[in-house]
């Protein structure tokens, strides 16, 4: 069972990627976009984090990164798989609710709407929250130190990107968004 779960986890992430690419065609026209240089930092950090989690090209086989910190036992692997699926479903729910306002980069869309329903009532950046829950679950499935370091790096990238998004949203929605920030946490309900 453990081998099967470990083999299927990357497939779940690929399914999410395909859904994301297909859904991108239904987005509204962009009227303002973040700079390419600020985008580059996020992309590089996410790539490094994903490379660590999935050990792409076996770049991260150093002794401490390859240290198992979670036992390769059914309760941990199954729990991680459930966490991964829950995170991905939360992420997809957020993407569906956001609808045509979504973009892979920080943007303001034509007729941009401030979405506060569904998962956006729980956190302001539920797509990031869902991905991070999924990545933490995946880290538990694989159990290596590099996986948790990778999830932390992706989390840092999302935190930086969310700060730019916050600036765009305040610029677009003013006091309405400031009030939303007072009421709803960014990534972790009631905490962060």
What is the C-alpha to C-alpha distance for residues 15 and 54, in angstroms, rounded to an integer?
A: 16
Q: What local confidence, expressed as pLDDT, does residue 73 receive?
A: 95
Q: What local confidence, expressed as pLDDT, does residue 165 receive?
A: 92
Q: What local confidence, expressed as pLDDT, does residue 63 receive?
A: 76
DSSP assigned state of 144: B
Enclosing H/E stretch for 108 = strand 107-109
Q: What local confidence, expressed as pLDDT, does residue 167 receive?
A: 93
pTM recorded for the entire structure: 0.92
SS3 107: strand
Residues in the chain predicted with pLDDT less than 50, given as ranges, are none
Q: What local confidence, expressed as pLDDT, does residue 179 receive?
A: 96
The CA distances from residue 24 to 39, 141, 152, in Å, are: 17, 29, 26
DSSP string, 10-75: HHHHHHHHHHHHHHHTTPPPEEEE--HHHHHHHHHHHHHHHHHHHTGGGTT--TTTT-B-S---HH
Place of tokens 């309760």: 75
> What domains can be seen in the chain, in order of their start residue?
2-183 (1.20.120.1630)
Cβ contact 80:7 at 8 Å: no
Q: What local confidence, expressed as pLDDT, does residue 99 receive?
A: 87
Question: In terms of C-beta distances under 8 Å and separation of at least 24 residues, what long-range contacts does 13-20 make, across chains too?
Answer: 13/88, 13/134, 13/138, 16/88, 16/91, 16/92, 16/134, 19/92, 19/95, 20/95, 20/104
């Amino acid at each position: 069972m453990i081998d099967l779960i470990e083999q299927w986890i990357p497939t779940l992430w690929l399914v999410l990627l395909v859904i994301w690419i297909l859904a991108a065609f239904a987005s509204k026209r962009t009227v303002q976009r973040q700079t390419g240089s600020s985008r580059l930092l996020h992309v590089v950090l996410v790539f490094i984090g994903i490379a660590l989690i999935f050990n792409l090209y076996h770049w991260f086989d150093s002794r401490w990164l390859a240290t198992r910190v979670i036992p390769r036992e059914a309760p941990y692997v199954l729990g991680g798989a459930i966490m991964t699926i829950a995170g991905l479903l939360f992420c997809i729910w957020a993407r569906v609710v956001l609808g045509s306002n979504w973009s892979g980069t920080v943007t303001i869309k034509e007729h941009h709407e401030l979405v506060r329903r569904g998962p956006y009532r729980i956190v302001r950046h539920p797509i990031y929250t869902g991905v991070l829950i999924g990545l933490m679950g995946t880290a538990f499935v694989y159990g290596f130190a590099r996986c948790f370091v990778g999830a932390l790096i992706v989390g840092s990238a999302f935190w930086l990107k969310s700060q730019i998004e916050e600036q765009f949203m305040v610029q677009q929605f003013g006091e309405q968004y400031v009030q939303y920030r007072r009421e709803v946490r960014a990534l972790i309900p009631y905490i962060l």
